[in-house]
Amino acid sequence: MMKAIIRTEDGGPEVLQLADVPAPEPTETQLLVDVKATALNRADLLQRRGAYPPPPGESEILGLEIAGTVSAIGSAVQGFSKNDRVFGLVGGGGYAQQAVIDYRMAMVIPDDWRFEEAAAIPEVFFTANENIFTLGRLTAGETILIHAGGSGVGTAGIQIAKHAGARVFVTAGTPEKIDNCITLGATIGINYKQSDFVAEIENLTDGEGVDVVLDFIGAPYLNRNLQILKVKGRLLQVGLMGGATTDIDLGVIMRRRLQVIGSVMRPQSLDEKIAITQRFVERWLPELKNGTLRPIIDKVFPLAQTCEAHEYMEANRNFGKIILKI
């Protein structure tokens, strides 16, 4: 048995409770990990409400990324030993003392990293890299607008887009978050509560617009995002915090040869996730190891305070990642 956070029902943060549950058993290609840290993601909030169930075969326990030590190894695992420090993306099960991960998804934690740092990386850097570069094809000299610049994906996206030579604009809801985004590498921050980001982008780009938009809001922003894209611009839709349904003028997309690309990480196949992991390892893990890039951690909560951590995220108080220490 192990300690884990369970949902007593669908609902608010109060439905999360610490309980004793059976520990997972690794398959032949999995590592069993004693989890030392995990992290919150917006997907966790949706799952808690009953709106985002885990894919078939994945744990019902919340938590999409883990950092910890290997305690058992499947018979087909290669390259790992017991007590190795590892981190990686999982389909569920992170809010617990133990979790399983396919060894091809696991990465070795550098000696000088804390578990909390490692847990803050997978979901946000994988999502940022896949959308901005693999799907969005951002190149040096181009411009990108990243909405929710203070989110975990936003803070990762700012850094990697800047590192690649792009000009980075962001939206955020407070002056403090905007200042922090600029410190990370954003050129300009737009307070969406005080300004119309469409007018601001048109002014900042002399009416040209941007090459790429990374959006988490969805319906309320769709047509406004299309309005500020250059010819052949790319809109990357990775969240629906504002809703999923709206009207759209398809003529705008056709006349300006725009691309609207949707992406969700969790339901993808194991093979796809292994490829996503490898692309991250090859392109960005060296930059994280040498300190050129860094995970942004806002606050660390003990596992027993997961309810408070969810309330903190739902209030949009965080800049960067919220970590659960186990």
Q: Give buried/exposed letters for 254-278 (b at 16+ CB in 10 A, else e).
A: eeeebebeeeebbebeeeebeebbe
Q: Which pLDDT value is given to residue 274?
A: 98
Q: Which pLDDT value is given to residue 153?
A: 98
Q: Which pLDDT value is given to residue 147?
A: 98
Q: Which pLDDT value is given to residue 171?
A: 98
Which CATH number fits the domain that encloses residue 294?
Answer: 3.90.180.10
Question: Do residues 181 and 85 both lie within one domain?
Answer: no
Question: Do residues 142 and 192 both lie within one domain?
Answer: yes
Q: Which pLDDT value is given to residue 38?
A: 98
Q: Which pLDDT value is given to residue 210?
A: 98
Residue spans of the chain under pLDDT 70: none
Residue range(s) defining the domain that contains residue 317: 2-121+266-325
Question: Do residues 300 and 239 both lie within one domain?
Answer: no
Q: Which pLDDT value is given to residue 181?
A: 98
Q: Which pLDDT value is given to residue 58?
A: 96
Q: Which tokens is 192 given?
A: 């969406």
Q: Which pLDDT value is given to residue 126?
A: 98
Question: Do residues 103 and 200 both lie within one domain?
Answer: no
pTM for the full model? 0.97
Question: Do residues 113 and 141 both lie within one domain?
Answer: no
Q: Residue 55, exposed/middle/buried by CB under 10 A (0-12, 13-18, 19+)?
A: exposed
- The DSSP code sequence of 41-85 is -HHHHHHHTTSSPPPTTS-SS--SEEEEEEEEE-TT--S--TT-E
Which CATH number fits the domain that encloses residue 218?
Answer: 3.40.50.720
Q: Which pLDDT value is given to residue 44?
A: 98
Question: Do residues 190 and 218 both lie within one domain?
Answer: yes
Question: Do residues 253 and 155 both lie within one domain?
Answer: yes
Q: Which pLDDT value is given to residue 155?
A: 98
